Amino acid sequence: MKIVVQRVKNAQVEVDDKIVGKIGKGFLVLLGVTHNDTKEQADYLVKKLCKLRVFTDENDKMNLGLKDMNGELLIVSQFTLYADCSQGNRPSFIEAAKPIQANELYEYFCLECEKNDIHVERGIFGADMKVSLVNDGPVTIIMEK
C-alpha cells in the first residue's frame, strides 16, 4: 500500500461536474493498493498519517498534526501509484490490485481514519475524478508499507 500525502490549504474532488468531496486545511491523500496488501498495512499507514506532524507551530517548525490544526482528510483512490514505467512509454498497471480488493482496502482505510476523530471526505472509487488543490508549502510525503 502506498500513499501520497499533500498538505493543502484546501482540496476538492469532482465527478461529472459535481463536487463529491471537499476539505479546508488538511491532507489530500492519494492511496494506491497492490495485490498483497492487507488491513494490517492499512492500519500502519493510518496511524502514521493521523499522527504526521507537518503543520507549522508558533516557532515556524513542522511540529503539529492534523488534530492540532482541526485538519481534514480528502482520500482519493489512485491505482496509478503502482504504474510500472520501466519498459516502453506506456505504463503497466499489473501491480495495482484488482478493483474489488482495492476498493475494500480503500473503504477500510477511510473508516479507520474516521475512527481517529478526523473529518474524512472521499473521492468515488473507480470514477473519472477531477482533483484540485492548493498546496501548502508545498509539502508532499510518500509513505509505503
Residue type, 97: A
Q: Taking a C-beta distance cutoff of 8 angstroms, is the pair 65, 55 a contact?
A: yes
- Output DSSP code: residue 96: B
H or E element at residue 142? strand 129-144
Residues with Cβ < 8 Å from 138, sequence gap 6 or more?
A: 6, 7
Spatial distance between the Cα atoms of 94 and 20, rounded to a whole number of angstroms = 28
Spatial distance between the Cα atoms of 139 and 143, rounded to a whole number of angstroms = 13
Active site residues: 80
And the C-alpha cell for 99?
Answer: 478493483
Residue type, 143: M
